[in-house]
Amino acid sequence: MKNSQKIGFLGLLLLIFSCSTKKDAFLNRNYNALTTQYNILYNGGVAFNEGLKEINSNYEDDFFELLPIEPLSFENIKFRIPMVSSSIGSPGKGFNNTTTEEPLTPFDIAEQKAVKAIQKHSMNIYGKERNKKIDDAYLLLGKSRYYTERFVPAIDAYNYIIANYPNASLINETKIWRAKAHIRIENEELAIETLEILLRKPELPDFIREEANTTLAMAYTKMDSVHRVRKHLWEATKTSKNTIQKARNLFVLGQLYGLDKIKDTASMVFQKLINFKQAPYKYKIYAAIELAKNSVSDSSSTAILERYRKLIKNRDNRPYLDGVYYQVAVLEQERDSINDAILNYNKSLRAVNGGAKQKTYSYEKLANLYFKDLDYVTAGAYYDSILQVAKNKQTLRIKRIERRAKNLKSLTKYEEILQRNDSILSLAALPKDQLEQYFEAYIEKIKKEDEELAQRKLNEISFGSSFGGGTQSTETKGKWYFYNVQSLGFGKGEFRRVWGSRPLEDNWRRSDKSIITSDTTEEEIVINQKIARYEISTYLATVPSSEKEIDSLVFDRNNALFELGLIYKEQFKNRPKSIKNLERLLASKPNKELILPANYHLYQLYLLSENTKAAQYKNLILNSYSDSPFAKIILNPEIELSKEKEVDEDSEVYEIAYRLYKDDFFEDVICFIDMTIPTLEEGSILMSKFELLKAYAIGKYQNKDSYIAALEKVAVDYSQTEQGKKALEIMKRLKK
């Protein structure tokens, strides 16, 4: 055998013997340690870092809320990689060798690598681990389990290191990770005790002291101990080993001071973050935004405004312009520069890449401004916009906005009815000659507008032709219409304006193909349509003339006046508008069923305003409607209408609940009824009516089972009443 072959053979034998995990020799220890670190654990570390990278890219901070100290939401850990086969145990289920096939996350892969390193390279000889890298494998195992929300198995891995490797270089880091896992399972007291003992150690490395204080702040956050949270965040920010976490800690610290109205300290912290050169840019820009919220004087707000104007000019800040414009608007509003505030709120809404939540705040500010200015229609449109862009509609803030939007929707509906019917009735009341004069003036107006529009379009075409209509020269392009880019664009736009988007088909100009006859050409119909636009008979035909049509318009208008009076009174507490609508209603001689409640509401409104006109409406009710429930309440204000034994559906208390139901305030209906029922006298006829109305409300926004349960209660408790029989009938239909 040649010498080279002998050397190779001996090397192979040496390698084979060094692979053994049962022999405590220098070569065995170092071989297994190297193989563990640079093969299996390396691949596990790569997978683990991929998982962290995926979390960081998916996680989005909500800078409108107090940021969590650890930027982690387990709901975001939903990514998966293709299904792979594994010959080792499922993560967290021990080390049994079984074959599984399941979708794995990068953290699952990292855990499998850690398990494999422990299985293949652990050198537990006589109760002592001889492979110095196995503790690294257990730490990777614990961290991987932590990020897959299996905190108890993660704690088991950390405890194994602490018990078996008390002198390991990563023992302090392990204790911090174990504390984080305890915090996640709401065992904050044990985490705090462990970390406070750790921090008593002298000469702790800076990065360990940073992480320990950050984790302590997390624990005290769970315990709502704001003072201690601030204390440990201050301690954690004394060094800068983890620059990203330090920037985050400073931001949270500033937010905590701001929430406690300690604005000068909050401003100081945010300024410190802005000056921190290594901080990620997003923290700096949002810290600049937070400065506006914590300005303590007009002079400081002026300085901040100047800073914001510089931020707006900086192209690097384009992703954050929605927030910057919003804060500029807030500052302008605080300075009573309302027009400038509205301008900047709109700029915030139009900012490219603006966030949905930021839009909800900008819309809300605009809505509130118009609401305060009593422009309820415009305010309602902005509140509706909030509901369209809001991603999470279950928050208390959005629910409150949704309730106000519903109120405004009802108001807008009745205001539109009032305005439309008033306009039609005013035209219907004109003599024929005045009506003709009105429409002649209108026709002249639209003719003039059409002529001006046509002239502008002609000028645009002429302008396009004189400059070649595009980049091509007139020599190469020719004079054909479709060679002129501007003329072509104008023609397309004009076609869509007049005809809308039409499919490619015969008779495309007709919406109703059934009216096509051989005697009527398309050209004639188009001409007739154009002529009709300028014919006075077209408009005269739209004005109602029959008594039935006019009575219907009057009825709808009067009902709108009554509803508006109640909405302004009950929902918006706007007494002047409520009085104006109700008094106008009475002046229009409405149906008799509206007269008494309108007078009573006016009595209440003037009584609250301490106006002497309250006596006028009081006397009218007492003299003309002495037997009504309203008269009894006026004579004895302490009496509860609900205690009247012979109360019918027209009673005011039931009317309130029923109106809430008709306006789709189903949760409010239930709340109102639950408050009212205990005040009713036993045996009151209203009991069954309220319970059935409550069941209807439950059926409108809860599930079918809840609806059936509510109906069953009415059917059982009030079986002899009309409401009980009705509930039983509906319940039987639902169960089919």
The 10s digit of each residue's pLDDT in 459-476 is: 776 665 555 544 444 444
Q: Are 467 and 500 in contact (CB under 8 A)?
A: no
Task: Note whether residue 714 is domain-resident.
Answer: yes
**Dihedral of alpha carbons 468, 472, 476, 479, sign:** negative
Q: Are 110 and 136 in contact (CB under 8 A)?
A: no
Counting the structural domains of the chain, the total is: 2
CB-neighbour burial class of residue 498 (10 A; exposed 0-12, middle 13-18, buried 19+)? exposed
Amino acid at 384: D
Where does a domain end: 114, 137, 168? Answer: 168
Q: Which DSSP helix (H) or strand (E) runs through 103?
A: strand 100-104
Q: Among 23-27, 105-109, 374-378, 416-420, whose mean pLDDT is lowest?
A: 23-27
CA 490 – CA 180 distance, rounded (Å): 65
Where does a domain end: 168, 197, 226? Answer: 168
Q: Are 40 and 113 in contact (CB under 8 A)?
A: yes
Q: Among 309-323, 336-350, 560-574, 649-663, whose mean pLDDT is lowest?
A: 649-663
Where does a domain end: 142, 168, 194? Answer: 168
Q: Are 111 and 30 in contact (CB under 8 A)?
A: no
Per-residue pLDDT band for 245 (boundaries 50, 70, 90) equals very high
Task: Note whether residue 651 is domain-resident.
Answer: yes
| Neighbouring residues of 355: CB distance < 8 A, sequence distance ≥ 6 | 322, 323
Q: Which DSSP helix (H) or strand (E) runs through 615?
A: helix 613-624
CA 361 – CA 35 distance, rounded (Å): 56
The phi and psi torsions of 244 (rounded to 5 degrees) equal: -65, -45
CA 393 – CA 406 distance, rounded (Å): 14
Q: Which DSSP helix (H) or strand (E) runs through 211?
A: helix 206-222
Per-residue pLDDT band for 574 (boundaries 50, 70, 90) equals confident
For 731, the domain range is: 640-736
Locate 501 and state its tokens. Answer: 């988007």
pLDDT of residue 579: 93
Amino acid at 79: F
Task: Note whether residue 264 is domain-resident.
Answer: no
Nearest in space to 291 (alpha carbons), one of 301, 281, 282:
301
Q: Which residues pair with 100 in a beta bridge?
A: 86
Q: Among 29-43, 104-118, 666-680, whose mean pLDDT is lowest?
A: 29-43
- Of residues 491 and 352, more confidence is placed in 352
Q: Are 19 and 13 in contact (CB under 8 A)?
A: no
CA 290 – CA 309 distance, rounded (Å): 15
Task: Note whether residue 356 is domain-resident.
Answer: no
Task: Note whether residue 539 is domain-resident.
Answer: no
Task: Note whether residue 452 is domain-resident.
Answer: no
Per-residue pLDDT band for 486 (boundaries 50, 70, 90) equals low
Q: Which residues pair with 102 in a beta bridge?
A: 84
Max intra-chain CA distance, the chain: 133
Per-residue pLDDT band for 525 (boundaries 50, 70, 90) equals low
The phi and psi torsions of 428 (rounded to 5 degrees) equal: -65, -25
Radius of gyration of the chain (CA): 39
CA 693 – CA 711 distance, rounded (Å): 10
Per-residue pLDDT band for 12 (boundaries 50, 70, 90) equals very low
Task: Note whether residue 666 is domain-resident.
Answer: yes
CB-neighbour burial class of residue 697 (10 A; exposed 0-12, middle 13-18, buried 19+)? buried
Task: Note whether residue 614 is domain-resident.
Answer: no
| Neighbouring residues of 279: CB distance < 8 A, sequence distance ≥ 6 | 243, 246, 247, 250, 273
pLDDT tens by residue, 108-151: 888 888 887 777 755 554 455 555 667 788 888 898 999 988 99
